Amino acid sequence: VVTESVQAGDSNPNEVRIAFDGDAVLFSDEAERVYQAEGLAAFQQHETDKAAQPLPDGPFKPLLAALHRLQSAGEAGGTGMRIRTALVTARSAPAHERAIRTLMDWNIAVDEAMFLGGLPKGEFLREFEPDFFFDDQTGHVTSAARHVPAGHV
């Protein structure tokens, strides 16, 4: 669901920028369910215990994988259009490790990774200037939509 948002900026005319939340977007909602049911301390312990185990795929992993392939092809072919991707997540240490290891396991690189520790995402997204941001939580989408085009997954 696309939220009423500001229009994408035009300060990066030769780039397409897409930003994603992590849990329940790029990754499954496994860790998010732990957080919702048992709280932050349990979530952090769960993620620390499973740091070496990649997170299962989320619904937008195929889109990120496709963007990564396009990035790689663009770099090899020298096309004029660039693609930049970002992970913008409320995770922080120690839970960031599992997200990083998951992307490495998938052999997918993102250009930016922002681990915000629960801070509002909108201001950080304003600086990255994505053409679109995807998140599963209404509050994060609303915060982002004040600054960038955003949609609810």
For 29-75, the pLDDT digits (tens) are: 999 999 999 999 999 999 999 999 999 999 999 999 999 999 888 76
pLDDT at 76: 59
Q: What are phi and psi of 147, to 5 degrees?
A: -125, -35
CA 58 to mean position of chain CA atoms? 11
pLDDT at 137: 92
How are beta strands 112-115 and 15-20 bridged, if at all?
Answer: unpaired
Which residues does the annotation mark as catalytic?
Answer: 21
Global confidence as pTM:
0.88
Biggest CA pair distance of the chain: 49
